[in-house]
Amino acid sequence: MYRLEGQTVAITGAAGGLGAPVARLLGAAGLRTIGIDRVECPACDTSIVTDLADDVALKSLAEHLANAPPDILVNIAGVMRFGLHESQPIEALSLCYRVNLLVPAVLARAVAAPMRRRGHGQIVNIGSVLGLIPYPWFAAYSSSKAGLAALSQSLRRELAGTGVAVTHINPRAARTAFNNSEVNRFLEITGMKADAPEWVARRIVAAILARRATVSIGAMERFYAMLNAIAPGLIDAGLASQIRKARAEFP
């Protein structure tokens, strides 16, 4: 990592299980950290306490970031929905798509123009391997993260040559309170790996500081994502046994 004294980074979800270690590591790299969350962010230099689910609050935050743009914006805040899609309340689906996709789009919109005029900046979106390999029982979460990947790629092409980088990072599951007991049980019965949050945070921060374009964590996950893109039927066949187990556990 290199040091970035004097620059600022705004991090949504900075009080969370993944956001907090990312904030600490970015602070250690010399950045002044601004945490954005529903509560104070102890790992950050300053906090903006707000509710990203509220239209008025989101508009106010976007205006604030447009008027005082950070050098780096990191969109970590997210909402998980687990279970059969048919069982999801409409309000829960709306919140999932809002926080996972609309909020990053609104905040990226707020900072893109001032960053471009300034000639430097970085927008970082934290996706998920479940956006690359859409999983059953995670339909809303997977599709919202797939949309975030498309948003990142579109922005990268729009901002090419302006000095503004766009970084998209796809972690695997992390062992945080983001996962409820049902999600943890799903990971267990399907053999999906969950990483320590500090380990994930180090890889996220390394990608940010290197201004990488796209990073997906996990060699096998990268392979399966590529396979899903070119031969999704093979992934369907590979998931069949996991789906049988999940159906027995989560009818």
Q: Which residues lie below 8 Å from residue 185, measured CB to CB, with a gap of 6+?
A: 249
Residue 1 has pLDDT above 50, yes or no: no
Domain-located, residue 54: yes
More confident residue, 57 or 188: 57
pLDDT, residue 4, reads: 76
The answer to the question of residue 3 being in a domain is: no
Task: Please tell me the predicted confidence (pLDDT) of residue 65.
Answer: 98
Average pLDDT over residues 192-206: 93
DSSP code string of 103-164: HHHHHHHHHHHHHHHHT-EEEEEE--HHHHS--TT-HHHHHHHHHHHHHHHHHHHHTTTTTE
- pLDDT tens for residues 50-91? 999 999 999 999 999 999 999 999 999 999 999 999 999 999
> pTM here?
0.93
3-state secondary structure of 62: helix
Kindly report the number of other CB atoms within 10 A of residue 248's CB atom: 9
Please indicate whether residue 189 or residue 115 has the higher confidence score (pLDDT).
115
Helical axes 181-190 vs 232-249, angle rounded to 10°: 120
CA distance 236 to 178: 27
Residue 164 lies inside a defined structural domain of this protein: yes
Band (pLDDT 50/70/90 cuts) for residue 3 is low
Q: Is 62 inside a domain boundary?
A: yes
Task: Look at residue 141 and tell me if it is in a domain.
Answer: yes
Residue range of the domain that includes 236? 8-249
Q: What is the CATH number of the domain that holds 219?
A: 3.40.50.720
pLDDT, tens digit, 9 for 90 and up, residues 87-132: 999 999 999 999 999 999 999 999 999 999 999 999 999 999 999 9
Residues in the chain: 251
Q: What is the mean pLDDT of the chain?
A: 94
Residues 92-117 as b or e (16 or more Cβ within 10 Å = b): ebebbbbbbbbbbbbbbebbbebbbe
Q: What percent of the chain has pLDDT over 70?
A: 99
1, part of any domain: no
Domain count for the chain: 1
- Does the pLDDT value for residue 193 go beyond 90? no
The answer to whether position 2 is within a domain reads no
Question: Does some domain include residue 236?
Answer: yes
Mean pLDDT of 176-201: 89
> Which tokens belong to 211?
């201004």
